[in-house]
A and B are shown apart, each in its own frame.
Chain A
């Protein structure tokens, strides 16, 4: 009966988010940060489900019964098969020096499956993870003067520029235990780039037809990342532990192509290549990523983490728009987080059955426009809800952050977000496959 209630409630939650996701297919709920228009989109970090809400990706600690895909080394220390997936809902309140806009976007997060081949010694992982994301919608208004003298007429135009898509990684990896407290891991991925930019121009005069065209950028490449995790138990006491972790992503090249499809009303004309244009074949080179940090577990109940990330986006290559390459700058990110797991006390209090996470992060961003870094300060709070009769959980986190600046007529965004991750470690997942 309890399993049935768990199933019903989980289904209701997924249904609720699916409903939200369905709304996202409408143009009215598809746009996110205006900064995601540039380059390959905004970079997303590999964040473990167990780290949601703690302000750090989680490369330096592994939470039992949750998919820890931020660090491949963690896959060598799992004892049950786990699966996870999730969605994000984010609301952007953007302002510049003269106007304000509100955008909402719902996007799927990672999808991950981890299988221990040798319990706590060797494990493999498969997953689909977003690497960059582009979701934006902006309007540009224009005034045009037709003719001259007494015959001069005024034409008003509005251009809607929208885009969605990004780079995703289909990843396979392995992690293993080198010594009792040292774990190493590797993941190779097939990177897919699929970005669609739409332009629609509207005019104040009915004699002027609406103009629509779409640019599609697609391509694929390969990615490689390595991870290491070192545990130092009993550092200051009998039950504490220090965790050191780090990952390294090699630069990745995506062999891509861009076409433009113009809708003439009666036909769709596709341009695949053209001289000096932005169409045709090109290369997207993602920079390497170095991520590392440490987590001090004062006890099984309380842990403190600090992790940092470095991406030299000045090495970014984007042959479809060389000017946008110049907007990229090296990115640094640092985060601090606390997790508190009162459920381990076996208390009967409802609030003691949850996992709590709290964190803050500062991100210099990968953009530098008009000599202004597009920085992000993000606060987050996470709650983990355990299944009544298994180790599965739903982890939900809330974020509030500030990105950008209104200096130089740039955009400052107030971001409200909510992420939902479903972590399954039961039913068919509750037994180790090979012993």
Chain B
């Protein structure tokens, strides 16, 4: 009898081994079946939240040792009469170098102009004079509104920029002799003495045609000796800007310059109550450019004038006391926003900053700042719509989230 029961148990084992794999082999293939009466547990929601309190913040930023120098003058019907005088200081041979600048050597500046970044009439001829400066300066300490002291009776050279991308400018006069002394000096601290005592050059526009961005990485100082030719980079450079007679901008816009003369400042309530849900997938901050005003005003200029193009903007969160270094270079929130030509908008992905602050919100002593492009020595300006703009142009947050009965609204 026990043997028969044991056989039955063996049969049970075999039966289980056969049946279980059959049931399991059907696997899982969960689909949308039943979703018609379970969908209230959460739904994707795309909402817009207004951004308000947009103001302009005027900053005096550092303008030296940047990738570009943009000397020139241009009368912009919207952004005013702009003039940039650029400061230059060529490099010299190091104390250990065997390079020598001969007494009768020719000295030239080979300037590479990026015509794509021209501000003004790119076909016009912009003329410039080079003068000796009557002051010492350091690029790292020079600010955009600082005024250089120019020895107008000590002209070192002149040049004009048409549509070419490279210009050789011959330098002459006492300034060249002073430079040669520093270049050939055998003093071990010649570099320090050079920076402290040698004033460099001022590139002063002599007509109002355009601002010509000079690429400082590519441009060179050329010293032509009788037997050889030496090439040196620039030791220092800076821009000094004056702006006058700006037009009144439309009341629903604010001006933004990449030079930080004006940046946008605003506060945003990123708490769950304002965003609408804890469970966000993407939060996009959208600003619209007033392209109509920009186009209409630049078209008032005779000739094929253009403003220096831009294609990005950056967002910062900082305390006002930390300006301007907090936004230049600062620590941008996420990636910069790329300009969308089709609707003239900048779209910032601020999902992470929302997630990090949705419980406690943004600290009261901090605000958001929007900077156009980067402060790279060019001059780029734009108009951004504020909350007073018509629907479709107001700055907004586009919040994509999952909401349920427990969401805040």
Contacts and interface: CB of A to CB of B under 8 A. Distances in A.
A12 B13 contact: yes
A416 B280 contact: no
Contacts of A37: 34, 37-38, 41
B11 A350 contact: yes
A274 B31 contact: no
Interface stretch (A2-10, A48-56, A58-66, A179-187): A2-10
Given A23-B24, A136-B34, A161-B41, A2 B359 contact: no
A332 interface: no
A138 B6 contact: no
A16 B340 CA distance: 60
30 contacts: A20-B20, A29-B24, A37-B34, A37-B38, A95-B33, A99-B31, A100-B31, A101-B31, A103-B28, A137-B30, A138-B32, A139-B35, A140-B38, A144-B44, A155-B46, A159-B43, A161-B35, A199-B402, A201-B281, A208-B400, A211-B402, A215-B406, A262-B278, A266-B355, A349-B4, A350-B8, A354-B8, A369-B37, A389-B2, A418-B19
Nearest 9 Cβ contacts at the A-B interface: A34-B34, A101-B31, A277-B406, A388-B5, A140-B35, A262-B278, A264-B355, A101-B33, A102-B29
Interface residues of A, number: 97
Given A91-B26, A102-B29, A207-B282, A13 B44 contact: no
Given A31-B28, A99-B32, A101-B30, A271 B13 contact: no
A31 B20 contact: no
Contact of A104 (B10, B23, B36, B340): B23
Contacts of A103: 28, 30
B70 interface: no
A213 B403 CA distance: 11
Contacts of A159: 39, 42-44, 402
B350 interface: no
Contacts of B352: 265
B44 A197 contact: no
Given A101-B30, A139-B35, 17 more contacts: A23-B24, A29-B28, A100-B29, A100-B31, A101-B29, A139-B31, A140-B32, A140-B35, A199-B402, A208-B400, A209-B282, A209-B351, A267-B359, A269-B358, A369-B37, A386-B5, A411-B33
Interface in A13-40: 13, 16, 20, 23, 28-29, 31, 34-35, 37-38
A34 B355 contact: no
A279 to B, nearest CB: 5
Contacts of A353: 1, 4-5, 7-8
Contacts of B19: 398, 418
A411 B34 contact: yes
A16 B15 CA distance: 12
Contacts of B405: 277-278, 321
A139 B28 contact: no
Interface string B388-404: 00000000001011101
B402 A6 contact: no
Contact of B282 (A137, A208, A277, A420): A208
Interface of B: 1-13, 15-17, 19-20, 23-24, 26-44, 46, 278-282, 340, 342-343, 349, 351-352, 355-356, 358-359, 398, 400-402, 404-406, 408
Contacts of B41: 37, 161, 197, 199
A385 B37 CA distance: 42
A402 interface: no
A215 B38 CA distance: 14
A249 to B, nearest CB: 28
Interface string A91-129: 101111011111110000000000000000000000000
Contact of A207 (B5, B27, B279, B349): B349
Contact of B279 (A211, A277, A348, A388): A211
